[in-house]
Structure 1
Amino acid sequence: MSIHTYTEDDWSVQTTSWGEGQPQLSEFDRRLTSSWEASMLQGHFKYILQKGQLQTKIIPGKKRYVAQLNVPRSQERRKPDEINSLQQPFQANKFNFTKIKPEEILFELVKVPSTSSNEQNVVNGSHDDKAARDCVEKTLNTYILCFQVLTVKSVELSLETILLSKHRGFHVGFNSLCAFASVNHLHLHAYYLEHELFVESCPVRHLCGDLYELEVMPTKGFAFQLHGTTVPKLARTIHQITSYFHKCEIAHNLHIMRGTVFGDDISRTVRLFLWPRKKVIGVKDLDAFNVAVVELAGHLPIKVAELFDGLTEESINETIRSAALEDGEYEALKATVMELCRTCH
Structure 2
Amino acid sequence: MLLKIKRVPTVVSNYQKEEGRCGRNCLNKCCINGARLSLYTCKNVGEKTESPVNFLESLVLGEWEDRFQRGLFRYDVTACETKVIPGKYGFIAQLNEGRHLKKRPTEFCVDKVLQPFDGNKFNFTKVGQEELLFQFEASSNDDCEIRFFPNMPLDADNSPSVVAINVSPIEYGHVLLIPRVLDCLPQRIDHNSLLLALQMATEAANPYFRLGYNSLGAFATINHLHFQAYYLAMQFPIEKAPSSKITTTDNGVKISKLLNYPVRGLLFEGGNSMKDLSDTVANASVCLQNNNIPFNILISDSGKQIFLLPQCYTEKQALGEVSSKLLDTQVNPAVWEMSGHMVLKRKEDYEGASEENALSLLAEVSLSEERFNEVNTMIFEAIGFSIQEDEEEEEAEVEEQSSIDGVFIRVHCCPSVI
Give the alignment's TM-score, normalised by structure 2: 0.68
Q: Secondary structure at the match of 1:124?
A: strand
1:328 is matched with: 370
Q: Give yes or no for the alignment of 1:45 onto 2:73.
A: yes
2:55 is matched with: 27
2:263 is matched with: 219
For residues 124 and 79 of structure 1, what CA distance do their matches in structure 2 show?
A: 42
- Structure 2: tracts of 5 or more residues without a match: 1-35, 162-178, 249-253, 319-325, 387-418
8 A contact 1:174–1:293 mirrored in 2: yes
2:349 is matched with: 307
Counterparts of 1:1-345 in structure 2 under 5 Å? 1-8=36-43, 26-50=54-78, 53-75=79-101, 82-84=108-110, 85-113=112-140, 120=145, 123-126=147-150, 128=152, 133=155, 137=159, 144-209=183-248, 210-225=254-269, 227-258=270-301, 270-278=304-312, 280=314, 286-287=328-329, 289-342=331-384
Q: Between 158-167 and 174-183, report the one with greater CA deviation.
A: 158-167
Distance apart, 1:215 and its partner CA: 2.3
Query: Would the alpha carbon gap of residues 81 and 38 (structure 1) be closer, same or farther in structure 2, given more than 3 Å must change?
Result: farther
8 A contact 2:44–2:139 mirrored in 1: no
For residues 103 and 66 of structure 1, what CA distance do their matches in structure 2 show?
A: 32
Query: Would the alpha carbon gap of residues 159 and 78 (structure 1) be closer, same or farther in structure 2, given more than 3 Å must change?
Result: farther
Distance apart, 1:279 and its partner CA: 5.2
8 A contact 1:10–1:164 mirrored in 2: no
For residues 61 and 348 of structure 2, what CA distance do their matches in structure 1 show?
A: 31
For residues 290 and 336 of structure 1, what CA distance do their matches in structure 2 show?
A: 27
For residues 105 and 182 of structure 1, what CA distance do their matches in structure 2 show?
A: 19
Q: Deviations over 1:18-45 (max 9, x none)?
A: xxxxxxx933432211211222232322
For residues 114 and 236 of structure 1, what CA distance do their matches in structure 2 show?
A: 17
For residues 71 and 28 of structure 1, what CA distance do their matches in structure 2 show?
A: 27
Q: Deviations over 1:137-182 (max 9, x none)?
A: 3667686221110111111011111111133210100110011111
Distance apart, 1:83 and its partner CA: 2.8
Q: Deviations over 1:205-227 (max 9, x none)?
A: 111122110122111001111x3
For residues 287 and 264 of structure 2, what CA distance do their matches in structure 1 show?
A: 18
What fraction of aligned residue pairs are identical, expressed as a percent? Answer: 25
For residues 159 and 63 of structure 1, what CA distance do their matches in structure 2 show?
A: 26
8 A contact 2:137–2:196 mirrored in 1: no
Query: Would the alpha carbon gap of residues 330 and 194 (structure 1) be closer, same or farther in structure 2, given more than 3 Å must change?
Result: same
Query: Would the alpha carbon gap of residues 290 and 214 (structure 1) be closer, same or farther in structure 2, given more than 3 Å must change?
Result: same
8 A contact 1:11–1:164 mirrored in 2: no
Q: Secondary structure at the match of 1:137?
A: coil
1:264 is matched with: none
8 A contact 1:46–1:77 mirrored in 2: no
Q: Deviations over 1:58-103 (max 9, x none)?
A: 1111211111111102227897771332132211101011111122
- What is the root-mean-square deviation in Å for CA atoms of aligned residues? 3.1
- Structure 1: tracts of 5 or more residues without a match: 14-24, 260-268
Aligned residues: 316
Query: Would the alpha carbon gap of residues 77 and 113 (structure 1) be closer, same or farther in structure 2, given more than 3 Å must change?
Result: farther
Q: Between 56-65 and 39-48, report the one with greater CA deviation.
A: 39-48
Q: Secondary structure at the match of 1:72?
A: helix
8 A contact 2:42–2:199 mirrored in 1: no
8 A contact 2:296–2:309 mirrored in 1: yes
Q: Between 179-188 and 305-314, report the one with greater CA deviation.
A: 305-314
